[in-house]
Structure 1
């Protein structure tokens, strides 16, 4: 592996330090990431952690991370205590990231109703993939993706449940009675889904790839490891799955493993060059 883009996804700073301590913890995370880059600039990039749902503190941290520090974008949770991306309260953050043409990695977290829906199972088992789909659908149906066309959003885990639900999400746009207030067409929804980037962490398997390749632009597929949260055997199996899948050629695999990511991380790409 030539380089890695690091991030601290979950739990969030707000969850760990509560509201009063979240800005300081996010700053500490981002400063530590900058030190890693400084020590080995041709091997590492990093995404900024934001102290959301504190919007003002998040805007301050965006400026520090992307203007003062050499970070390569931001990572956002799918929801913050039930506040989902696409809600008006979080709009200033997405507007600022759009102004900067920023790269944004989504990372799933448990929904606010997890105590009822989890049924005693760990959140990553199924809730994570559904929260990814919930967030992306909300971004589309609230018009957020249309308002912010310069965001480069990376969806994790081969899109979670999105590929399996893509037809349904698109088809509902043609039924205004089912989606009141959403000024969308099926074609527009499909275009939004195709505009997204998708990493293949825990998704390089025939079940996920077959549906994802019908939804996504192949030039928008990226390698993801999910290290260190996923056990090594799962990471190894995922890497082998990418190489074994017959629907991806060797040249396409090269794009997924390296070239597709370079335009998303221009600072890291410049250092690699």
Structure 2
């Protein structure tokens, strides 16, 4: 009966939600064990269940959600030594949700970084055994950003696999000095995305690993607003040692990234984003359950109401662009 119901829903729904978080019991227990009552400087911890998520999806015309664990990462809850076991439990929990609702959910694997060896083992387990559709990487692990030598084996393995990677912000190490008493997602998250993207480009990491399919959340955070600066400054060899980067190649790398529109489908964000990225690299996202549903509804309307985006482009953004990035989900939907 469940399979029939899901197929019926799919005939009417049109959206693939690539930016969604889930909070399994193992994650909530780990957060409670270290005394967290909010996340990232004051964000309330929402409730989550598969049943509530399905009801939300049906109200919003969403075909499927791509689950990922939010910030903070496993190692910030358990320490580096405990992160591998917690990451395994989280990924197994995601796989169980998918097994119960195969045409409504996919997932991105959580990795126990900064433990590189354990993270490589978890990539193999999550992608080969559990058949999850990619991974989620934090913008930093105790101040170590993707693009630094310590994390090179992870990016090399993900590039070898042509993996989909959601680059998700987390609280930066400078937060105590720069947060001004406000939660990190307000300002710091969008800048840590830009900081990490600049680092990935300026270190030549994206040049070395051209097969990574990287998704930036929230319309790229501060990246579109800084795209001209990031590209233009690449003309100074002192800033990009050991690379052959030029402003044109950097602009091309920025266009090669994917951008989800969670909290980003508004005139302020879209006007700069569409100067940086092609609509073929824009994706639908909600940031459920952290974003209130009225804000999610307004964000969806913002995309539909933005001038110059045709119905066919809406279809690309809301569903079709995502499917090549999510091969297992695409196969189940087919």
> Aligning the two structures, in what range does the TM-score lie when normalised by the shorter sequence?
over 0.9
In the alignment, which residue of structure 2 is the partner of 1:188? 249
Per the TM alignment, residue 233 of structure 1 is displaced from its structure 2 partner at its CA by: 2.3
Instruction: Report the counterpart of residue 317 of structure 2 in structure 1.
Output: 256
- Match of residue 30 from structure 1: 91
The 1-side partners of 2:238 and 2:319 are apart by: 44
Gaps of 5+ in 2: 1-61
Which of 132, 150, 169 is the matching residue for 1:89?
Answer: 150
CA distance in 1 between partners of 2:157 and 2:88 (Å): 18
SS in 2 for 1:174: coil
Question: Structure 1: which 4+ aligned runs deviate by more than 2 Å?
Answer: 175-183
* Correspondence for 2:72 among 2, 7, 11: 11
**Number of the residue aligned with 1:132:** 193
**Residues 18 and 178 of structure 1, relative CA distance in 2, 3 Å threshold:** closer
Alignment-derived partner of residue 122 in structure 1: 183
How far apart, CA to CA, are the structure 1 residues paired with 2:308 and 2:113? 39
Instruction: Give the TM-score normalised by structure 2.
Output: 0.80
RMSD over aligned Cα, in angstroms? 1.0
- Tell me how far apart the structure 2 counterparts of residues 127 and 174 of structure 1 sit (CA, whole Å): 27
- CA offsets, 1:217-256, max 9 Å, x none? 2101000100011122221221111111113111111110
Indicate the SS of the match to 1:84. coil
Of the structure 1 ranges 116-125 and 172-181, higher mean CA displacement relative to structure 2 is found in: 172-181
Equivalences for residues 1-273 of structure 1 within 5 A: 1-177=62-238, 179-273=240-334
Q: Is the 8 A contact 1:13 1:22 kept in 2?
A: yes
Rounded Cα–Cα distance in structure 1 between residues aligned with 2:114 and 2:291: 27
Structure 1 stretches lacking a partner, 5+ long: none
Q: Bigger relative contact order, structure 1 or 2, given CA contacts below 8 A and separation 6+?
A: 2
TM norm structure 1: 0.98
| Higher Rg | 2
Distance 1:4 1:161 in 2: 25
Whole-angstrom distance in 2 between the partners of 1:149 and 1:173: 18
Contact 1:9 1:77 in 2 (8 A): no
- Per the TM alignment, residue 190 of structure 1 is displaced from its structure 2 partner at its CA by 0.2
Q: Deviations over 1:168-223 (max 9, x none)?
A: 11010112345555531000100000000000000000000011011012101000
Distance 2:114 2:332 in 1: 33
Distance 2:161 2:318 in 1: 26
Contact 2:202 2:239 survives alignment (8 Å):
no
Deviations for 1:24-65, whole angstroms, at most 9, x for unmatched residues?
110000000001111111111100000001100000000000
Query: Mean Cα displacement is larger for which, 128-137 or 172-181?
Result: 172-181
Judge conservation of contact 2:235–2:247 (CA < 8 Å) in 1: yes
Question: How many residues in Structure 1 have an aligned counterpart in Structure 2?
Answer: 273
Is the 8 Å Cα contact of residues 107 and 133 (structure 2) preserved in structure 1?
yes
Structure 1 contact 9–49 (Cα < 8 Å) conserved: no
Distance, in Å, in 2 between the alignment partners of 1:78 and 1:177 is 24
Matches of 1:86 and 1:121, distance apart in 2: 28
